[in-house]
């Protein structure tokens, strides 16, 4: 309930609605309103503050000791709301002081919650400390208020006597009261003093009291203050004590998990483990088998708080894979979590590619949502299978295209190499024959042969070499064209798979996204044309490309692609 958090935009109900919730609402509604008030902009709380001041002033003359009356909690919630809204308002502070005065406010619980809510507000820190100093020495005040005052002094004034007095209340009380100068009237130790001290520690969990509280939880007497001790143990969230507190609570759960009279305390302990942030996954999964519905719900919600919705669902899916036939129970656990995140996590497991996990997720979705979930699962599964088949087919075609590119380019290369080898051999043979002719018949005979037949031979060799070059060029161009088309197909495939995935996920596709995808396809077409024209340019193809590029860029046809 601390107001140290940064202010965020929170909707505050109308004043009449807020007053009705505080007067007649259930505990959950009141807590939700209180959280919203704590996070709201202080300037937005002024109307509610004024309404609460007027309402509490009207009831000032009718206050009695109504602790045993069911409606007595209404005033406690109203005073807590006023403490949240008070700020530095003088009228609000005067009313809060009146609700702390045992002469004007007879109900000790109203006084307790007034101080408890005020001490957690940073704007009322000095005011609460001053009130605690007065209450700590008031012999006539209830032990409940004195213990809370001592806790405030021990934390904020570093008051050694106040800390010792609290620890004395947590013990058996055999030793003399150690709090020199503090009010000890009516404190004789035992359950009442222990319960009062634990109630104070629920608001301010002093580190010095950890060992004493741990001993109470381990002893686990069947008493009301045991619930308070469990609650306090769940407040030690600091790194120094959180793990040890979690282990203490786990021991309590294991020892009393099947004792009916301890069901409520076990539920408190499970909730406290969830608040500590130390994973006790196996313990919480085991508590899903509890015959108590309350423990079952607390275990499911604690599991979600510790692991997050996604990981919690994954663990439940793992459990169903390991132990079949538990889908109804595990689906009930999922119903205790945030439904949207649960469905998304099950959907992810439904597309994970592991058959057993997909089947487990399908069963949980069926149990979770009935016939609508069955239809959704079947449709998604069909879409998923179609997508996988399309991807496999496209991958196979891509591999075939790569093979064709390699075969075509290799064939053209070897034809070209063969032609150049033929040119080399024929030329070598011609040179050797010419040299023999020179030695045998003389230079004049060789010159005649070279002028008559040599020219034609070498012209033929030149044409043969040129043809080899043309074959190699044609093969390279064919391979390049196929590679360009393959790249274009792959880009279109990526866009198509993106659309298919959005469809499978159930995500809507707006007009802006369609326009972006159309531009991507158009750009891919333009790049493909440009690459092909670079291989075999012609005047007509260049002009067609320019017109196409002009349309893609938003210009007029024939304008050279200049944008408007």
Q: Going residue by residue through the chain, which has 564 residues, state the pLDDT in tens, using 9 for 90 and above.
A: 444 444 445 666 788 888 888 888 888 888 888 888 888 887 888 888 888 888 888 876 556 666 666 666 788 888 898 888 888 888 888 888 888 888 888 888 888 998 999 888 888 888 989 998 888 888 888 888 889 999 999 888 888 888 888 888 888 556 777 767 777 776 766 778 888 888 999 998 888 889 898 888 888 778 778 888 888 888 888 767 888 888 888 888 888 888 888 888 888 888 888 888 888 888 888 888 878 888 888 888 888 888 888 888 888 888 888 888 777 888 888 888 887 788 778 877 877 777 888 888 888 887 776 544 555 555 566 666 666 666 667 667 666 766 666 676 666 666 666 666 666 676 667 667 666 766 666 666 656 655 555 555 556 555 555 555 555 566 666 666 666 666 666 666 666 666 666 655 556 666 676 677 667 766 766 666 566 556 555 555 556 656 766 766 655 444 444 333
Evaluate whether 34 touches 84 at the Cβ level (below 8 Å). yes
Question: Most distant CA pair in the chain: distance in Å?
Answer: 147
Domain boundaries defined on the chain: 1-130, 136-204, 209-307
Evaluate whether 108 touches 145 at the Cβ level (below 8 Å). yes
Evaluate whether 297 touches 304 at the Cβ level (below 8 Å). no
End-to-end CA distance of the chain: 59
Evaluate whether 177 touches 165 at the Cβ level (below 8 Å). yes
The C-alpha atoms of residue 554 and residue 439 are separated, in whole angstroms, by: 77
* pTM, two decimal places: 0.62
Evaluate whether 161 touches 172 at the Cβ level (below 8 Å). no
Query: 3-state SS string over 100-121?
Result: HCCCCCCCHHHHHHHHHHHHCC
The C-alpha atoms of residue 384 and residue 556 are separated, in whole angstroms, by: 43
Sign of the CA dihedral running 25, 26, 29, 33: positive
Give the angle 514-516-517 at the CA atoms, nearest 5°. Answer: 65
């Amino acid at each position: 309930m601390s107001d140290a958090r940064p202010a965020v935009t929170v909707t505050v109900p109308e004043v009449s609605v807020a007053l009705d919730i505080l007067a007649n609402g259930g505990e959950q509604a009141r807590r939700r309103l209180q959280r919203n008030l704590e996070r709201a902009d202080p300037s937005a709380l002024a109307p509610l503050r004024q309404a609460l001041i007027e309402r509490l002033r009207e009831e000032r003359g009718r206050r009695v000791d109504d602790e045993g009356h069911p409606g007595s909690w209404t005033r406690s919630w109203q005073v807590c709301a006023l403490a949240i809204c008070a700020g530095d308002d003088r009228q609000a502070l005067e009313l809060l002081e009146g609700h702390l005065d045992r002469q004007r406010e007879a109900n000790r619980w109203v006084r307790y919650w007034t101080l408890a809510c005020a001490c957690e507000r940073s704007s009322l820190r000095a005011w609460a400390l001053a009130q605690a100093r007065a209450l700590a020495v008031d012999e006539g005040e209830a032990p409940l208020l004195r213990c809370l005052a001592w806790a405030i002094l021990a934390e904020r004034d570093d008051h050694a006597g106040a800390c010792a007095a609290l620890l004395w209340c947590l013990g058996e009380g055999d030793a003399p009261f150690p709090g020199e100068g503090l009010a000890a009237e009516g404190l004789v130790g035992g359950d009442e003093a222990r319960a009062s001290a634990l109630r104070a520690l629920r608001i301010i969990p002093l580190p010095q009291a950890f060992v004493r509280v741990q001993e109470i939880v381990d002893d686990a007497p069947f008493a009301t203050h045991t619930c308070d001790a469990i609650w306090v143990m769940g407040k030690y969230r600091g790194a120094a004590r959180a793990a040890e507190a979690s282990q203490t609570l786990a021991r309590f759960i294991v020892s009393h998990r099947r004792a009916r009279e301890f069901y409520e305390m076990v539920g408190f302990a499970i909730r406290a483990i969830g608040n500590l942030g130390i994973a006790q996954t196996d313990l919480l999964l085991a508590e899903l088998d509890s015959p108590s519905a309350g423990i079952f719900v607390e275990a499911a919600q604690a599991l979600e708080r510790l692991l997050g919705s996604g990981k919690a669902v994954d663990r439940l899916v793992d459990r169903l894979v390991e132990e079949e036939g538990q889908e109804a129970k595990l689906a009930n656990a999922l119903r205790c979590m945030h439904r949207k995140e649960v469905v998304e996590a099950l959907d992810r497991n439904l597309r994970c590619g592991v058959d057993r996990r997909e089947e487990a997720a399908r069963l949980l979705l069926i149990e979770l949502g009935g016939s609508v979930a069955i239809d959704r699962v079947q449709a998604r599964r069909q879409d998923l299978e179609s997508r996988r088949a399309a991807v496999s087919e496209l991958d196979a075609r891509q591999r075939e295209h790569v093979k064709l590119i390699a075969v075509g380019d290799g064939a053209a290369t070897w034809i070209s190499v063969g032609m150049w080898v033929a040119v080399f051999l024929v030329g070598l043979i011609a040179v050797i024959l010419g040299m023999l002719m020179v030695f045998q018949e003389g230079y004049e005979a060789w010159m005649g042969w070279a002028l008559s037949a040599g020219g034609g031979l070498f012209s033929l060799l030149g044409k043969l070499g040129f043809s080899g070059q043309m074959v190699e060029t044609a093969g390279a161009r064919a391979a390049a064209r196929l590679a360009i088309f393959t790249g274009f197909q792959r880009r279109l495939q990526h866009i198509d798979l993106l659309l298919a995935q959005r469809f499978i996920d159930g995500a809507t596709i707006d007009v802006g996204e369609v326009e972006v995808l159309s531009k991507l396809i158009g750009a891919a077409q333009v790049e493909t044309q440009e690459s092909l024209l670079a291989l075999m340019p012609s005047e007509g193809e260049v002009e067609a490309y320019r017109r196409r590029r002009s349309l893609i860029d938003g210009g007029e046809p024939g304008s050279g692609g200049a944008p408007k």
